[in-house]
Amino acid sequence: MEDLPDELLVQADGPVRIVTFNRPEDRNPASTAMLFGLTQLARQLAQDQSIRAVVVTGAGRAFSAGGDFKHFVATAQDATVARETINNGRAFIEAMLDLPIPVIAAVNGAAVGFGATIAALSDIVLMADTAFFAEPHINVGLVVGDGISITWPFLIPMNKMKELVFTGDRIYAADAVECGLANRAVPAEQLLPDAIALAKRIAQQPRSALDGSKAILNSYSKAMMSSVLEQQLARQFDQTQGPDHGRIVQDLIDKQKRNQP
């Protein structure tokens, strides 16, 4: 893979690629570079005919604990950065839904906001039994996340989704499996080996049949792009420039300054 930020590691294991979010000291938050790098990565993966499956995981104790604080500040203070981020969000979702090879999320810890979105855009989700999802965009003055807005309604009941979105509450692995957000929970030490083994098993399937089947199944989410997703992106841009998000970001800045020695 070419020209990717250091926050993204890509390793080859035969026909499988293992993508690791690599900011373990901060619990793998989504920096601006990571967000744009992931779009580029998804497109590169789609072009390599030797790749048959992808596993996505996080370095250290988290999958991804959400958005990077510096990125939040940039989008709140600069409308151009916010617009570029919104446009990249659309491009990333389209690239993920068009990716012809299966993506398995190995959720090793906290998967918050961005982390929950990556899992939502994956085809199969395995979770460490101590891991959890949370969708706290509302807590920071933003609307529900982009990928979540067009995938969760196919996975879980709408009233359950609303509860999770409106509160930002955590949902741990066992409950996530029960309600449909994950396929299964496994002991943490088995998570990555199990995900890679599953990826290799799927990689043995006929490529054309696998690609075609994924395209058919992803057509449900893709059908939502011109309606639900476009509404979400427009509202999210307005929120990034609105008073609630700006106030919350400023409160975070002030808190950070007070905590500095």
Q: Specify the CATH number for the domain of residue 176.
A: 3.90.226.10
Instruction: Evaluate if residue 258 carries a pLDDT over 80.
Output: no
**Range 195-203 average pLDDT:** 98
In tens, the pLDDT along 118-132 reads 999 999 999 999 999
| % of the chain at pLDDT higher than 70 | 98
Q: Is 1 within a domain?
A: no
The pLDDT, as a whole number, for residue 72 is 84
Instruction: Evaluate if residue 150 carries a pLDDT over 80.
Output: yes
Residue 69 or residue 86, greater confidence: 86
The pLDDT, as a whole number, for residue 215 is 97
The pLDDT, as a whole number, for residue 107 is 98
Q: Is 106 within a domain?
A: yes
The pLDDT, as a whole number, for residue 10 is 97
pLDDT band for position 252 (cuts 50, 70, 90): confident
Residue 53 or residue 74, greater confidence: 53
Q: Is 2 within a domain?
A: no
The pLDDT, as a whole number, for residue 225 is 95
Instruction: Evaluate if residue 5 carries a pLDDT over 90.
Output: yes
What token pair was written down for 57? 């995981």
Domain enclosing residue 71, as ranges: 8-189+198-259
Give residue 115's Cα distance to chain centre: 4
Instruction: Evaluate if residue 213 carries a pLDDT over 90.
Output: yes
The pLDDT, as a whole number, for residue 232 is 97
Concatenating the DSSP letter of every residue in the chain gives --S--TTEEEEEETTEEEEEE--GGGT--B-HHHHHHHHHHHHHHHH-TT--EEEEEESTTEEE-SB-HHHHHHHHH-HHHHHHHHHHHHHHHHHHHH--S-EEEEE-SEEETHHHHHHHHSSEEEEETT-EEE--GGGGT-PSPHHHHHHHHHHS-HHHHHHHHHH--EEEHHHHHHHTS-SEEE-HHHHHHHHHHHHHHHHTS-HHHHHHHHHHHHHHHHTTIIIIIHHHHHHHHHHHTSHHHHHHHHHHHHHHHHH--
Residue 113 or residue 256, greater confidence: 113
The pLDDT, as a whole number, for residue 134 is 98
Using the CB atoms, write b or e for 19-55: b if 16+ within 10 Å. bbbbbeeebbbbbbebbbbbbbbbebbeeeeebbbbb
Q: Is 3 within a domain?
A: no
Q: Is 100 within a domain?
A: yes
pLDDT band for position 73 (cuts 50, 70, 90): confident
Indicate the number of domains in the chain. Answer: 1
pLDDT band for position 3 (cuts 50, 70, 90): confident
Q: Is 56 within a domain?
A: yes
CA distance 246 to 243: 5
Q: Is 154 within a domain?
A: yes
Q: Is 25 within a domain?
A: yes
